[in-house]
Amino acid sequence: MNILLMGLPGAGKGTQAAKIVEKYDFPHISTGDMFRQAIADETELGKKAQSYMDEGGLVPDEVTNGIVAERLEQDDTKKGFMLDGYPRTLNQAEALEDIMSNLDRSIDAVLYFDVDPEVLKKRLSGRVISRSTGETYNIYFNPPKEGIDSDDLYQRDDDKPEVVENRIKVNMEQQQPLLDFYEAKGNLYRIPGDIGIDNVFAKVVEIIEG
């Protein structure tokens, strides 16, 4: 089974990916892993990607698409794979259709972990960390234990409310055309992401095995 994972930041995609890998032993292929491997292997496309990254630029779609095509041709994907972080644009989604067609395969399911953006803002912007213990808390869902001095707590820049709000907004704008694309193809599955980790995974299993 060939699966795409999608979801806004904080929707639980990483947690579910780990559970899918544990149960089904699909290779979990992320964009970052593909780039690192292509660069380490010094493939032509890896070298091209590295040159753009060294200059601080975005890697063009044709290079990214080529790296994805090379990765999906490898033997470990023959029984299925789980692709995470690609496609990010409609052009990439269309390129992936061509890649799959050339391999005489198709994307079977696009799993979208659907959580209310307001809940996600609380999940992410509520995170605080204890300087002394390194423990992470959430002021909304998992408040710091009694006796912890508020001066001991800090928030990472990435978790500040205005940063979180912008991240979610940008991701929503990027993902909507992709959701429309896969909905039209009939392989998009919206999974409620706020019903508890095990219940979410039960829905995932139902889709994969159904």
pLDDT digits (tens, 9 = 90+) for 26-46: 899 998 888 888 999 899 999
Instruction: Give which of 59, 3, 65 is closest to 28, Cα–Cα.
Output: 3
- Binding site, by residue number, is 10-15, 31, 36, 57-59, 85-88, 92, 127, 136-137, 156, 167, 195
59 HSE (CA, 13 A, CB side): 24
Q: Please pick, among 88, 105, 160, 190, the residue that the annotation labels catalytic.
A: 88
Residue 71 known to be catalytic: no
Predicted TM-score (pTM) of this structure: 0.88
Where in the sequence is the domain holding 74, given as residue range(s)? 2-116+174-209
Going by the annotation, the residues of the binding site for ATP are 10-15, 127, 136-137, 195
Residue 138 lies inside a defined structural domain of this protein: no
Position 54 pLDDT exceeds 90: no
Residue 200 lies in a domain: yes
The pLDDT value recorded for residue 162 is 93
Count: domains in the chain: 1
Distances (CA, A) of 75 to 32, 113, 209: 20, 28, 22
**Does residue 190 carry a catalytic annotation?**
no
Residue 10 resides in a domain: yes
Contacts of 190 (CB under 8 A, 6+ apart): 112, 114
Q: What is the pLDDT of residues 60-80, one digit of tens each?
A: 899 999 999 999 999 999 999
| Catalytic, out of 13, 48, 121, 203 | 13
Q: Is the pLDDT of residue 57 over 80?
A: no
Task: Assess if residue 26 is contained within a domain.
Answer: yes
The rounded distance, in Å, linking the Cα atoms of 94 and 161 is: 34
Q: What does 112-163 look like in DSSP terms, one character per residue?
A: EEE--HHHHHHHHHTEEEETTT--EEETTTBPPPTT--GGGEE--GGGSHHH
Asked if the model's pLDDT at residue 92 lies above 80, the reply is yes
Average pLDDT, integer, range 79-106: 95
- Residues at the binding site for AMP are 31, 36, 57-59, 85-88, 92, 156, 167
Highest mean pLDDT among 53-57, 149-153, 157-161, 176-180: 176-180
What is each CA distance from 94 to 13, 28, 85, 90, 104, in whole angstroms? 23, 21, 15, 6, 15
**Per-residue pLDDT at 207 exceeds 80:** yes
Check if 123 is active-site: no
- Give me 131's structure tokens: 């300087």
Token pair belonging to 198: 């095990």
Given 79, 131, 145, 156, the catalytic residue: 156
φ, ψ for residue 88 (rounded to 5)? -110, -15
Q: Which CATH number belongs to the domain containing residue 16 in this structure?
A: 3.40.50.300
Q: What is the mean pLDDT of residues 93-102?
A: 97
In a domain, residue 104? The reply is: yes
Query: What does each C-alpha distance from 93 to 35, 49, 119, 204 come to in angstroms?
Result: 18, 19, 28, 22
Note if 131 is an active site residue: no
88 is a catalytic site residue? yes
Selecting among 71, 121, 127, 203, the annotated active-site residue is: 127
183 falls within a domain:
yes
